């Protein structure tokens, strides 16, 4: 099925970004929001983005005009009736999404694919709100959608194979890299990335180092941002809510346990850049530099902290592969192209050595005696057989 007409539900940052991607790819797009003021904000934001691209020489005026003409702004859901594909990008609330999907299904054709951009909610639960759940699928973009290369495609239990194929082909035609993920909490990125935040928070709470020092150590590993900088950028309300959601969805597995330190920031409304206060202080979203001498860590201490964070990420990726959440290539692509990790975690494991990974995890478990440090069976099995993930 060829997708020509696309309906986007929600004219916030994410919905507007998806609309730009689809319009750039040549689709006719209708961007819906009940809030007409928000539609105006979205239209002005697109003008600003495209004008900047013209100034940089990345597109010309004709291309700018073509993209803008491909998008119309509507405030009635009925206007999406002729869509081949609809993508919902509204509040992360399951009941709200179900209500919207049930209403939408009465308006669109029987062949229209109905997708959600949810980052962590069950696609299967959303699909259950439809009379034809087989048409429902997850299509998860990353912010900002026009720039981030990765899109996770998540079939529900009920999703027809033809719908999955259509979604994958469409998103590839839009110039994105697709990672197909099983419908489990957090899909790929929001599951595998949890230790990046949780282990950094744990090391802070243990007093191993302060916030700027940990961020600096992580940047030295090749990450563009340290975990505390990134949490401030995402927003603690959003990041903490995802952690809580994944923790509950995995039946309170200790690997995903939220941090009281982050909860206190949410309670104080210190949400990061958006509120000008988080782990750092900001002025209109711009980070204020602080007088800070990195804590005096020995080389061994610094390396131990870096190794601990890395091996926890590798363990999560290995477990996702062990549980068939996604293929190895998709798992690594998801982390490098979805959240800009310097290397794919499974390739990184090969580089460090699977045996090294197991030794690190066993040492952490022996010290803490907590299940959060249990080694993935896949890692342990590959170490015993002297196998790797990718190398021949």
How far is residue 210's CA from residue 202's CA, in Å, rounded to a whole number?
A: 11
DSSP code string of 25-42 = TT-EEEEE-S-HHHHHHH
Number of H helices, E strands in the chain: 17, 10
Q: Is residue 245 very low, low, confident or very high in pLDDT (cuts 50, 70, 90)?
A: confident
Q: What is the pLDDT of residue 92?
A: 86
Q: Is residue 289 very low, low, confident or very high in pLDDT (cuts 50, 70, 90)?
A: confident
373 in Cβ contact with 255 (< 8 Å): no
Name beta bridge partners: 128.
Answer: none
CA nearest neighbour of 221 among 313, 129, 108, 159: 313
Q: What is the mean pLDDT of residues 250-266?
A: 95
Active site residues: 119, 140, 152, 190
Q: What is the mean pLDDT of residues 32-44?
A: 96
Name beta bridge partners: 272.
Answer: 277
Q: State pTM to two decimals.
A: 0.90
Q: What is the mean pLDDT of residues 169-197?
A: 95
Q: Is residue 195 very low, low, confident or very high in pLDDT (cuts 50, 70, 90)?
A: very high
Q: What is the mean pLDDT of residues 86-107?
A: 94
Q: What is the pLDDT of residue 202?
A: 97
Q: What is the pLDDT of residue 384?
A: 94
Question: Which CATH number is 5-180's, of 3.40.50.920, 3.30.1330.20, 3.40.50.720, 3.40.50.10540?
Answer: 3.40.50.720
Fold of 190-228+241-258+290-392: 1.10.1040
At residue 294, does pLDDT exceed 70? no
For residue 320, what is the enclosing H or E element? helix 299-322
The dihedral formed by the CA atoms of 55, 61, 64 and 65, expressed in degrees to the nearest 10: 150
Indicate where the chain has its CATH 3.40.50.720 domain(s): 5-180
For residue 278, what is the enclosing H or E element? none
CA nearest neighbour of 182 among 89, 315, 313, 319: 319
Phi and psi torsions of 137, nearest 5°: -155, 160
Q: What is the pLDDT of residue 171?
A: 98
Phi and psi torsions of 46, nearest 5°: -65, -40
357 in Cβ contact with 307 (< 8 Å): no
Indicate where the chain has its CATH 1.10.1040.50 domain(s): 190-228+241-258+290-392
Q: Is residue 391 very low, low, confident or very high in pLDDT (cuts 50, 70, 90)?
A: low
At residue 298, does pLDDT exceed 80? no
Give the DSSP letter of residue 277.
Answer: B
Mean pLDDT for the chain overall: 94
At residue 292, does pLDDT exceed 90? no
How far is residue 20's CA from residue 146's CA, in Å, rounded to a whole number?
A: 7
Dump pLDDT digits (tens) for 66-96.
Answer: 999 999 999 999 999 999 999 999 988 899 9
């Amino acid at each position: 099925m060829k997708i020509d007409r696309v309906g986007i539900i929600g004219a916030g940052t994410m919905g507007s970004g998806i609309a730009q991607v689809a319009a750039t790819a040549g689709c006719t797009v209708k961007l819906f929001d009940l809030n007409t003021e928000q539609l105006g904000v979205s239209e002005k934001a697109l003008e600003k983005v495209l004008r900047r691209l013209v100034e940089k020489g990345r597109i010309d005026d004709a291309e700018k005009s073509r993209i803008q003409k491909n998008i119309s702004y509507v405030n009635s859901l009925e206007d999406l009736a002729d869509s081949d594909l609809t993508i919902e990008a509204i509040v992360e609330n399951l009941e709200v999404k179900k209500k919207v999907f049930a209403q939408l299904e009465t308006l669109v054709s029987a062949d229209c694919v109905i997708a959600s951009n949810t980052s962590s909610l069950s696609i299967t639960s959303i699909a259950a709100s439809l009379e034809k759940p087989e048409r429902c699928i997850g299509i998860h973009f990353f912010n900002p959608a026009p720039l981030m290369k990765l899109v996770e495609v998540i079939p529900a239990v009920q999703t027809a194979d033809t719908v999955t194929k259509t979604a994958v082909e469409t998103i590839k035609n839009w110039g994105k890299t697709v990672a197909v993920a099983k419908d489990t909490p957090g899909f790929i990125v929001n599951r595998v990335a949890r230790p990046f935040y949780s282990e950094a928070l744990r090391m802070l709470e243990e007093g191993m180092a302060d916030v700027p020092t940990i961020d600096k150590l992580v940047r030295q590993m090749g990450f563009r941002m340290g975990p505390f900088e990134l949490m401030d950028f995402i927003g603690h309300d959003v990041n903490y809510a995802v952690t809580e959601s994944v923790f509950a969805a995995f039946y309170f597995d200790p690997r995903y346990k939220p941090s009281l330190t982050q909860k206190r920031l949410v309670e104080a409304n210190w949400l990061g850049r958006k509120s000008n206060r988080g782990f750092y202080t900001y002025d209109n979203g711009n980070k204020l530099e602080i007088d800070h001498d990195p804590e005096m860590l020995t080389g061994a201490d610094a390396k131990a902290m870096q190794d601990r964070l890395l091996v926890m990420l590798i363990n999560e990726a290995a477990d996702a592969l062990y549980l068939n959440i996604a293929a190895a290539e998709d798992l690594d692509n998801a982390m490098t192209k979805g959240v800009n990790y310097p290397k794919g975690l499974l390739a990184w494991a090969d580089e460090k050595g699977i045996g090294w990974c197991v030794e690190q995890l066993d040492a952490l478990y022996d010290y803490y005696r907590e299940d959060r440090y249990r080694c993935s069976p896949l890692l342990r099995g590959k170490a015993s057989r002297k196998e790797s993930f990718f190398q021949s």
